[in-house]
Structures are given as structure tokens and as C-alpha cells.
Structure 1
């Protein structure tokens, strides 16, 4: 009886072995393909990360080289000559606009960023704010209000800064009462930073207004 059981066990084991080999012959290529895909995907991901790191370093090196130029004009020209796409283009435009006194290539790029829809709203808002700060003395109040309108939405990151710039534009347009009302609203806003509160308070006093509520 034990010999029979042993024989049956051997036959069963052989059948299982034959089934396993058959399964491997039939479906083994799937496992091989999965391994190839996993290894290839990991290698491609490593290559992509190395490429992105090299591009970021080259972009940073180009900015540093541009900022090392002797004059603001040379720095601005070198910055605008750096090949850039997407968010990098927005960064370049805002850096090149630093110290600008009005219309120019940097401001033109900022306007293109505001008008375009390919970049996230954050970059478009920053570009609009930068345009207003550069051209505050030359843009009409209506144009400033239009540029800053998207920035004033509830929860927008630059909402209070936009309101500050709009109040300055109202002062320039001799709309003192409107400016004071807007400045007091900023002062009472819980999200206002200490620096912003200080600037707003100084402007209210300079306009002859009161810091007291009401």
C-alpha cells in the first residue's frame, strides 16, 4: 500500500512539474517582458532626472553669468537672451524687468505672460503685478484696475498687494477717498503682514486720513 502511495505521489509530482514547465513555456515571455519594462522604465526615469538636473543647472549658470554683467542694460539683455520656456520664461522676464523704468523687451514679455494661458495663474498674476509696479506712473487707472482684477479674487495669493497697488493708482488719479477706503480695508484684513500694515498706515497718515476704525 505504501508503494502504491509512493508511486501515486511520484506521478502527481511529475504531472505538476510538466504543467509548470508548460506554463513557463506558454506564458514565461510575459514575465520576461515585465522585467524588461521595469528595468527599462527605471533606466529611462534616471536618464530623465539627470537630463532635467543638467538643464536646470545650465539655466541657473546662465542667469548667474547674466547678473555678472557690468551695467543694468547689459544684464537685462543677457537675461532676455537666455533660451527659456514656460515658467523659466516668466522668471527671466521678471528678473529682466527689475530696475526697468518703463516699456521695453522685459515689460513686453511680462505682458505676453499675462495675456497667454499656457502658464499657471500664479505666474500670470506675478507678471501683472510686476507690470503695474514698473509702470505705475504711466498707466491709466483703468488699465491698472484691469490688470489687477484677477489678483483680487478671494484667497488669491497676491490679493492684498494688488489692493495696495490699486490704492496707489487711485492716489495718483486724485481719487483720495477711494484710496483711503481701500487702504483701511487692507489694514483691517487679518491676512495683512506687518510690513504691509506699516506701509499702509504710513500712506493713510500721509494722505491726511485717520488710522482709527470708522
Structure 2
């Protein structure tokens, strides 16, 4: 059986192949020269950029670890102060919070709230009001804490400020659905009474009494005050009577 042997290449095809190989070698040489030229021109700046990038990344990792460590330390300081507070050691709680004085961030705001609460507990209403005022005016503090501080500051200074000032500060917060509606509303009602606006006070107290999201004790107090002002705050008479009987165990009259 005959084998088909490859025929010899023609001179033209061999010449074309040799030229193709030569062009590839030339391209490789040109490319290598280009890489060498690029390395000579930009090699050092690129190396410097890489080194600086690595240094910046290492610096960030160091900064992040320091920030995390500082946050843990602040948290431990707050926990220690709260432990002292729970134990009834008010002075110890304030002393434990000393490292957080002058610092920014949420931990410092929480520390100021604790200090203000201690001041109120110790009868230092003026000091407490000053701390609450700082928190209320702190644009970096969460709005919820600023609103709470506003309510507590008004409460701490209620006997010394004009009713009009209390009304101005509390009206934006004494709105149904807002977090401090009931606490701000009670104070606002008291300010209305100081101004002789009994109807406004009674209407606001009735709204608090009808708000089922509020604690039962607070609603009961608001209902009684609204009734005393001539405003009906009772929606379900049977439910109110049941609540009134609850502290006595709900037992009916003896047979």
C-alpha cells in the first residue's frame, strides 16, 4: 500500500514562512525595546506609587485598629459607670465617666446624658439643665437624643422659665406619633395651664389618654387631668372601669 509523502515546499512558500518568522522576531524585539523604554521612563514612579499605596493601606489598617480599640475602651468606661449607677453610687458613676469628657462621638453624648441624670437625682437641676442644653444644641447628636434632651431640659427648668418658652420648645415634640409625644405633651399641658389655656391643656391630655401606644399609668393620669378640665377622654367606659378595678384584683362585690 503506497504512502502519501508530503511534497517539498515551493520556494515561494518557504520564503513566505521565513519572512513570517523574521517579522515575528522583529515584532518581539520592538516590543521588548518598548517595554525597556517604558521601564526606564516610568519604572521608578510606578514602584514609588506601589510603595506609597502599600504604606497608605498599612496606615489605614493601623488607624482602624486604633479606632476599634478606642471604641471598646469607651464602651467599657460607659458600662463601668452604669454599674456604679445601678449600685447606687452616683458620685462613682460620674467619676467613672471622667475619661469621656471632651471626647466627641456617641459615647460622649451618652456619658453627658448619664451625668445629667445623676445631677437631677442629686437635686442639681441647674447643672442637669446645662448638660441637657449642650446635647440639645449638638448638631452631631442623633435627633432622637436631642429631642429627649430638650424635654428633660424643659422639665429641669420648668419652674424658672416663662411658660411661653416652654410652649415654644415643646410644641414641635408634643405631636401624636412622635417619640416623646406623651412626656412633652404633659409638660406642654402644664405650660398651657400656666397661661390660662385650660381648653388647650385638656384637649392635649385627652389625646395622650387615647393614645394606646403610651403606658397605662400615664394614660390614666392624663385621662383624670383631662376630665378635671372638662374634656372627655374616655372612649370605652367599660374598659376604663375594668382598669380601675384591676389594682383590687378585679373581684366583684361579695355575695
TM-score, length of structure 2 as denominator length: 0.64
Structure-2 separation of matches of 1:80 and 1:110: 16
* Partner residue, 2:4: none
Q: Check conservation: 1:68, 1:75, Cα contact below 8 A.
A: no
CA RMSD of aligned residues (A): 3.5
1:34-183 map, 5 Å: 34-69=49-84, 71-75=88-92, 77-78=94-95, 81-84=98-101, 85-86=103-104, 87-98=106-117, 100=120, 101-115=123-137, 117=139, 119=141, 121-136=143-158, 139-149=161-171, 151=173, 158=180, 161-171=183-193, 175-183=197-205
After TM superposition, list the pairs within 5 Å mapping 1:1-40 onto structure 2.
1=15, 2-40=17-55
Q: Is the 8 A contact 1:153 1:159 kept in 2?
A: yes
The 1:48–1:19 alpha-carbon spacing in structure 2 relative to 1, beyond 3 Å, is same
For structure 2, which runs of at least 5 residues remain unmatched after alignment?
1-14, 236-255
Q: Counterparts of 1:200 and 1:172 in 2: how far apart (Å)?
A: 22
Counterpart of 2:218 in structure 1 is 199
Q: Is the CA contact (8 Å cut-off) linking 2:116 and 2:129 kept in structure 1? A: yes
SS in 2 for 1:194: coil
Residues 1:137 and 1:82: Cα distance change in structure 2 (over 3 Å)? farther
How many residues end up aligned between the 2 structures? Answer: 210
Q: Which structure has the higher relative contact order (CA within 8 Å, separation 6+)?
A: 1
Unaligned runs of 5+ in 1: none
Q: Structure 1 residue 10: deviation in Å?
A: 0.3
> 1:74–1:44: structure 2 CA closer, same or farther, 3 Å change rule?
same
In 2, Cα distance between equivalents of 1:103 and 1:202: 25
**Residue 154 of structure 1, CA deviation:** 10
Distance 1:197 1:94, change over 3 A: same
Task: Give 1 or 2 for the bigger CA radius of gyration.
Answer: 2
Which secondary structure does the structure 2 equivalent of 1:82 belong to?
helix
